[in-house]
Each structure stands twice: as structure tokens, then as C-alpha cells.
Structure 1
């Protein structure tokens, strides 16, 4: 529970930080002198919620009762369902087939890149630890 709460706080703060950064970039480099308060609130809350579930959902990978395929499947289903509910609700992805299919392909592509990167990183870390244990 302590880990869940800690990761929740990290995710919420990271999501809020990204919302502020993107808003500042839109104001600085966009052609808008003013931003719509309601749109800012909606996008900020979406970013905060997104940051939360992307930092809490990796807890599946810390459950030793699940195999890696189960952990990955549960994590993938959790984040894709929550992300697309959020993305359609806020308007990040327009509610039409071509946009949906493009977003799904991009999401799966990024998911595969990140999953593979983390897998290779942790496999390398385990290899290093095992080599150090062999030296003892």
C-alpha cells in the first residue's frame, strides 16, 4: 500500500508538471496569447490522471504470482483501456475510425518500444547481479 501511495503521488506530480510544461510551450510558441481556462483544466486533469495510471500500473510487474506474459497482458489492457477512455473523453483523439486506428498503432508501437527497453535493461541488470554473485 505504501508503494501504491508513493507511486500515486509521483504520477500525479509528474502529470501536473507535464501539463504545465505543455501549456507554457503552447503559450510561448503557439499563436495564442490567452488560453481557455476550461480547456486547461480538462487537459491538466487528464494529464494528471494519465500520469497516475502510468506510474501505478507497473505494479503488476512486481507481483511474483504472475508470469511475465500475464503481467504484460494485464498492464497493457489496463493502460490501453484507461488511456483511450481518457483520450476520447477529453478529445486528445477524435472519435472517428481513422484517428482511432492511428492512435492504436502509435500506442502499440510506443508500448513495444518501452516494454522492450525496460525488459532489456532489467535483464542486463540481472545478468550483472548474477555475475557479481558468482564472484563471491
Structure 2
């Protein structure tokens, strides 16, 4: 529970930071003099919620009673469904079948790249640790 709370705070603060950073960059480089307050609040809340569930959902990978395939499927379904619901509700993705399918295809592609990268990284770390243990 402690890990969940700590990760929740990290995700919430990171999401809030990204919302403010993106807004400031849009104002500075987009030539805006004023922003739409309600739109800022809506997008900030969306960014905070994304930060939260993207930092909390990897806890699936710490559940030792689940196989890696189960952890991966649960994590993917959680992240993708929560993001899709949030993005459609806030208006980040227009509510059309083509946009929803395109988002799912992009999500699968990006998730696969990140999953393979993390898998190879941790596999390499395990190999290095095993080599160190063999030399002892």
C-alpha cells in the first residue's frame, strides 16, 4: 500500500508538471497571450490522471504470483482502456471508430516497443548479475 501511495503522488505531480510545462510552451512558442481557463483545467486534470495511472499500473509487474504474460496483458488492458476512456471523455481523441482504432493500433505498436526494450534491458541486467555471481 505504501508503494501505491508513493507512486500515486509521483504520478500526480509528474502529470501536473507536464500539464503546466506544455501550457507554458504553448503560450511561449504558440504566440498566445491568454489561455482558456476551463480548457486548461480539463486538460490538466486529464494529464494528472494519466500521470497517476501510468505510474501505478506497473505494480502488476511486482506481483510474483502472476506470469509475465498475465502481468503484461493486465497492464496493457488497464493502461489502454483507462487512457482511451479519459482521452475520449476529455476530447483528446475525436469520438469516431477510425480514431479509436488508430489509437489502439498506435498503442499496441508503442507498447510493444517499450515492452521489448524493458525486457531486453532487464534480461541484460540479469545476465550481468549472473556473471558477477559466477566470478565469486
TM band (smaller chain):
over 0.9
Q: How far did 1:32 drift?
A: 2.4
Which contiguous aligned blocks of 4+ residues in structure 1 show a shift greater than 4 angstroms? none
Alignment: residue pair count: 136
Provide the rounded CA distance (Å) in 2 between the counterparts of 1:88 and 1:31.
28
> What's the CA shift for 1:26?
1.1
Q: Secondary structure at the match of 1:65?
A: coil
Question: 1:16-27 to 2 correspondence within 5 Å?
Answer: 16-27=16-27
The residue number in structure 2 matching 1:97 is: 97
Partner residue, 1:65? 65
Which residue pairs with 1:112 in the alignment?
112
Structure 2: runs of 5 or more not aligned? none
**Deviation readout 1:39-60 (Å, 9 max, x if unpaired):** 0000001000000000000000
Give TM-score, length-normalised by structure 1. 0.96
Q: Which residue is equivalent to 2:75? A: 75
Q: Which runs of 5+ in 1 are unaligned?
A: none
- Cα distance, 1:13 vs. partner? 0.8
- Residue deviations 1:16-63, cap 9 Å, x none? 111011101111111422111100000001000000000000000011
Q: Distance in 2 between matches of 1:5 and 1:134?
A: 38
Q: Distance in 1 between matches of 2:73 and 2:102?
A: 21
